[in-house]
Amino acid sequence: MADPERNADEILAWARRAAEKDASVALFPELSVTGYTCEDLFQSEALLAGARRALGRLAEESAPLPLALVVGAPWRTPDGRLYDVAFVLHRGKVRGAVPKSHLPNYGEFYERRWFVPGGHLDARVADDVLGEFRLSPRQLFEMGRLVLGIEVCEDLWAPVPPSSAHALAGANLLLNLSASNQGVAKSEYRRDLVRQQSARLLAGYAYVSCGPSESTKDIVFGGDALVAENGVLLAEGPRFEAAGWMTFSDVDVERLLHERARNMTFGTSPVPREGYTVERLGAPPRLADLGRSFAKTPFVPDDPATVDERAREILSIQSAGLATRLASAGAATAVVGVSGGLDSTLALLVAVEAAKRLGRPASTVLAVSMPGFGTTERTRGSAGALAGKLGATFREIPIREAVEKHFRDIGHDPKRQDLVYENAQARERTQVLFDLANGEKGIVVGTGDLSELALGWCTYNADHMAGYAVNVSVPKTLVHHLVSWYARHLADAGVREVLERVLATPISPELLPPTAEGIQSTEGAIGPFVLHDFFLFHHLRNGSGPRKVLALAERAFAGDYSREEVRKWLRVFLERFYRNQFKRTCLPPGPKVGTVSLSPRGDLRMPDEADPAALLRELDER
């Protein structure tokens, strides 16, 4: 406290460490040049002069560093008013100064004893030591596509934080220099404030507070350090570390710009251009490597407790949607085609839960098994056993003879096991289901999942069609977790045993007869669903292009798949995703459960003729 020169030494040391990590910005706490708890010493001529000299030294000695430093210091204007200010230093100069707009003067805080609110301040400063710069909260700092907006501590806690205007004016990374003391549950509240503001503004938000080296006379500071991006906490530092620490994270600016482009609530909000200026700091340092990791399964949370919570919510959404559809349609029966595989298993579970919501017995769900040329005894047995254990009505209707007659009618040689051979079975099954639904006063419950729709891995006007498609926005990697969760939390011992058998069954459409090499493999034909779900999330949800998706996937799946394997399956994904939009254009209704949906009435409006050629060229250029 009250030692600007010593603080300048510490700031420079940490800034150099940040530069070694290719940081674009190094953010320090509120009044970090002097210390926050100087109290009446802020009115000392010696302290103010020392802070001014330290700022000049910081600017000069940080000049070789490519990053911007954002530090806090008191600043007195010629009229004698004292402000709590954030200074932006870059390449040897003070590039701008942002005064604190909202000063807390309640509880343990008495800032108006020393400082004046700076929300309406706008002045040009010409200083012998620091040079010329603007002193105003209405300024942004641009580094390539990174646009910085700054607020100070209490500003975030205000009813209308300055960062809201900064974001609407163009800032995509908000910085907060803070001095917020510790108290029971206060860190959790701060964390929520930072996360929610980043979500509301579709922005990155970096927050750092002063630590335990401040005065502990009446309060203690822990040094919260947080980085959030669009509602997700990316990094959080330790607290109460006397030696100091650095919390570091990458922020995906491209993703944030994509979010803003697609969010018309943000896009149509007023732009507060009046009074705002942009100080251009030049291009940010190039990252030699990423400092953050990316989950292999972005649709499935890493935390088991969160997975359980999400599973319960998703099943509730699915079953509530189906229950409402059954009731509104006056349907007495939910008709589900069951194969003994994961997708139809989840659909059957949802149908039974929907019946419960309507106060109906499980027997009002009609589960139909339709064994064909490739059906195995394992899946055939699982389908019947699961329906029986759940109490659903079960019927088995073999389709071999009907399909063989159809082959004769159209002149198709059944020895030619081509697309006609496979799709004829799928269409026969769909015909059976819809005709049964007509006879039972029911609706057909679709079983296909989000991953299959993205890849077009469904037969047009066959399993592609339903009265209500409950799995339509559930990706394959999440289907497995939902069935597993049901087995652990809602199933009795008999149902659990069957579900565990289904979970251990390889993914197969079972449209071709088994051979000596084994059964028909879905992933052998189109690639691993864990990769395709990763591609889908980053390409569709985050707007990432092929090169970026490839780079992220290489990093996420290092040790699991080679670069060439990832590239191969990404090419398959892009080709199939764009070539099969015509199937998604006429999807049946179904509930959206997450942030990604392919519904033509909701999240994805895309021409059927979209050509992936340009994307494939970009992929090949890397």
For the residues of 323-365, what is the DSSP string, one character each? HHHHHHTT-SEEEEE--SSHHHHHHHHHHHHHHHHTT--GGGE
SS3 assignment, position 222: coil
Q: Tokens for 2, please give them.
A: 């009250």
Active-site residue, 458 included:
no
**Mean pLDDT confidence for 385-406:** 98
In this predicted structure, the answer to whether residue 131 has a pLDDT above a threshold of 90 is: yes
422: Cα separation from own chain's centroid: 37
Contacts of 362 (CB under 8 A, 6+ apart): 352, 355, 356, 390, 391, 392
In this predicted structure, the answer to whether residue 129 has a pLDDT above a threshold of 90 is: yes
**Mean pLDDT confidence for 373-400:** 97
**Mean pLDDT confidence for 468-481:** 96
SS3 assignment, position 613: helix
Q: Tokens for 221, please give them.
A: 């500071």
Output DSSP code: residue 587.
P
List the end-to-end C-alpha distance of the chain, in Å, as a whole number: 52
Give the whole-angstrom CA distance, residue 123 versus residue 205.
Answer: 26
Nearest to residue 154, comparing CAs of 199, 99, 196?
99
SS3 assignment, position 218: coil
In this predicted structure, the answer to whether residue 306 has a pLDDT above a threshold of 90 is: no
pTM for this entry: 0.92
Residue-level pLDDT at 68 = 98
Active-site residue, 153 included:
yes
**Mean pLDDT confidence for 309-313:** 93
User: What is the enclosing helix (H) or strand (E) of 378?
Assistant: helix 377-390
Contact 326, 358 (CB under 8 A): yes
Q: Using a pLDDT cut of 70, give the percent of the chain over it.
A: 100
DSSP-derived secondary structure for 481-513: HHHHHHHHHT--HHHHHHHHHHHTSPP----S-
Output DSSP code: residue 74.
E
SS3 assignment, position 594: coil
Given its phi and psi angles, is residue 517 left (phi above 0), alpha (psi -120 to 50 degrees) or beta?
A: alpha
Given its phi and psi angles, is residue 455 left (phi above 0), alpha (psi -120 to 50 degrees) or beta?
A: alpha
Residue-level pLDDT at 180 = 92
Q: Using a pLDDT cut of 90, give the percent of the chain over it.
A: 93
Give the whole-angstrom CA distance, residue 429 versus residue 437.
Answer: 12
CB-facing half-sphere around the CA of 410: CA atoms within 13 A: 11
Residues 287-298 have pLDDT tens digits of 888 888 899 999
Residue-level pLDDT at 293 = 87
User: What is the enclosing helix (H) or strand (E) of 274?
Assistant: none
What residue type is assigned to position 318 of the chain?
Q
Apex CA 197: angle with CA 142 and CA 266, to 5°? 70
Give the whole-angstrom CA distance, residue 105 versus residue 288.
Answer: 45
Q: Tokens for 383, please give them.
A: 């389908």
**Mean pLDDT confidence for 408-430:** 97
CA distances (Å), origin 423, targets 376, 407, 511? 18, 11, 8
378: number of Cβ within 10 Å: 16
Give the whole-angstrom CA distance, residue 502 versus residue 496.
Answer: 10
259: Cα separation from own chain's centroid: 10
**Mean pLDDT confidence for 418-433:** 97
Choosing from 30, 214, 229, 452, the catalytic residue is 30
User: What is the enclosing helix (H) or strand (E) of 366?
Assistant: strand 365-369
Give burial (CB, 10 Å; 0-12/13-18/19+) of 425: buried
For the chain, the farthest-separated pair of C-alpha atoms sits apart, in whole angstroms, at 100
Residue-level pLDDT at 443 = 98
Give the whole-angstrom CA distance, residue 589 versus residue 448.
Answer: 12
In this predicted structure, the answer to whether residue 274 has a pLDDT above a threshold of 90 is: no
Indicate the average pLDDT of the chain.
96
Q: Model confidence at 437, in pLDDT bands (50, 70, 90)?
A: very high
Residue-level pLDDT at 114 = 97
Residues 183-200 have pLDDT tens digits of 998 999 999 999 999 999
Give burial (CB, 10 Å; 0-12/13-18/19+) of 443: buried
Residue-level pLDDT at 191 = 97
In this predicted structure, the answer to whether residue 271 has a pLDDT above a threshold of 70 is: yes
User: What is the enclosing helix (H) or strand (E) of 301?
Assistant: none
221: number of Cβ within 10 Å: 23
Contact 186, 180 (CB under 8 A): yes
Choosing from 38, 93, 100, 458, the catalytic residue is 100
Residue-level pLDDT at 12 = 98
Residue-level pLDDT at 622 = 62
In this predicted structure, the answer to whether residue 45 has a pLDDT above a threshold of 70 is: yes
Q: Beginning with the edge strand found earlier in the chain, give each strand of the sheet holding 82-90 in spatial order.
A: 25-27, 68-76, 82-90, 93-99, 131-135, 123-127
Active-site residue, 21 included:
no
What residue type is assigned to position 19 of the chain?
A
Contact 146, 173 (CB under 8 A): yes
Output DSSP code: residue 203.
S
**Mean pLDDT confidence for 258-267:** 95
Residue that has been written with the tokens 């009115």 in this structure: 43
Choosing from 38, 93, 111, 153, the catalytic residue is 153
Q: What superfamily does domain 304-621 belong to in CATH?
A: HUPs (3.40.50.620)
Contact 367, 387 (CB under 8 A): yes
244: number of Cβ within 10 Å: 12
Crossing angle of helices 476-489 and 529-536, rounded to 10°? 110
Q: Tokens for 156, please give them.
A: 């975030």
Domain positions in the chain: 4-270, 304-621
Residue-level pLDDT at 342 = 97
Give the whole-angstrom CA distance, residue 308 versus residue 369.
Answer: 30
Nearest to residue 135, comparing CAs of 168, 95, 180, 81?
95
The fold of 4-270 is Nitrilase/N-carbamoyl-D-aminoacid amidohydrolase (3.60.110)
